[in-house]
Structure 1
């Protein structure tokens, strides 16, 4: 699971990888219901986005998707890649 997280973080970015990791880990490894899984993953993802992107203003690392589609980096309000 950790290798998947770090690999996908390099490809799609930390926040999308965090969401995918939480959903995958809770749903398939933890055998939680979809309601429980999304009930934890979505608020935690939103909290992380708001904290690191808007409050702490941490620059996100470069990703493969961001390199392939540079227009995604120009959207300052949703700059996830």
Structure 2
């Protein structure tokens, strides 16, 4: 039979082992309280995502004649 040693007199390592044995498991449940994000607050991630969107393509307007070598069969002319 082991001799009884008070918890305070156990070494730190033994105290940690004993605490770990007594402590239960949450079985994959996260006990942290969560709340929804403030919809009125500025969100940097959302702003960055919008600027990196593939739909933001620069618009180029051509004026004048375009060489038929670059675009064969297409004629761009100014109205007279």
TM over 0.5: no
Q: TM-score when scaled to structure 1?
A: 0.21
Indicate the structure whose relative CO is greater, using CA pairs within 8 Å and at least 6 residues apart: 1
If each structure's helix is expressed as a fraction of its own residues, which one has the higher value? 1
